[in-house]
């Protein structure tokens, strides 16, 4: 696991110790890191730019 991204997004999108992957914001073209196990698309709008945000393991909305 590496922290290769230099631009830190404001909203935290990596939680816990699951392996992370990098999304690309289709609007700003900026990469952002996330480690939700539920992502299906690499192209995803960052939560700070209006995206829904990754689903955090243990806080799945369908389990609440």
Q: Does 22 bind Zn ion (CB under 5 A)?
A: no
Place of tokens 């992370």: 20
Name which position in 9, 25, 33, 34 contacts Zn ion (CB under 5 A): 34
Residue 31 burial class via C-beta count within 10 angstroms: exposed 0-12, middle 13-18, buried 19 and up: middle
Q: Does 33 bind Zn ion (CB under 5 A)?
A: no
For residue 34, the minimal CB distance to Zn ion (Å) is: 3
53 Cα distance to chain centroid: 6
Stretch that binds Zn ion, among 2-10, 24-32, 34-42, 56-64 (CB under 5 A): 34-42
């Amino acid at each position: 696991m590496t922290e290769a991204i230099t631009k830190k997004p404001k909203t935290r999108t990596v939680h816990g110790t699951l392996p992370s992957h990098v999304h690309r914001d289709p609007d700003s073209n900026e990469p952002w890191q996330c480690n939700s196990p539920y992502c299906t698309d690499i192209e995803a709008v960052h939560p700070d730019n209006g995206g829904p945000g990754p689903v955090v393991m243990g806080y799945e909305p369908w389990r609440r």
